[in-house]
Amino acid sequence: MIAVYRILLAATRICLFVFLLGGFLVVAGQTVGIIVGSGPIMTTFGTDVADNVCVVAGIAGILAFLLLYTREGRENAPDAEE
């Protein structure tokens, strides 16, 4: 089970990194689109890139949720009663 926890933890961290990088890319791309005054650049970063970033964020959330269903995840989780 340790292998499953480590795999899920690594995959979660990778997805979070890609999500944060993608979010930065969306903001930077739309900022460039505003400065240049290009509607197609704004649309590309506001739809295509942002949609992919949202999918990665959803995957990261699911992986983080699945971490709680491993033995190590339950041991590391804070108690809800405290």
Of residues 74 and 6, more confidence is placed in 6
Range of 10's domain?
Answer: 2-73
| Residue in the structure block whose two tokens are 């926890």 | 5
Residue 65 lies in a domain: yes
Residue 78 lies in a domain: no
Residue 46 lies in a domain: yes
Q: Do 8 and 65 meet the contact criterion of CB atoms below 8 Å apart?
A: no
Residue 31 lies in a domain: yes
Count structural domains, the chain: 1
Residue 80 lies in a domain: no
Q: How far apart are CA 74 and CA 59, in angstroms?
A: 20
pLDDT, tens digit (0-9, with 9 covering 90-100), for 62-77 = 999 998 888 777 677 7
Give the pTM. 0.80
pLDDT, tens digit (0-9, with 9 covering 90-100), for 25-44 = 999 999 999 999 999 999 99
Residue 81 lies in a domain: no
Structure tokens at 62: 């699911």
Residue 57 lies in a domain: yes
Q: How far apart are CA 27 and CA 24, in angstroms?
A: 5
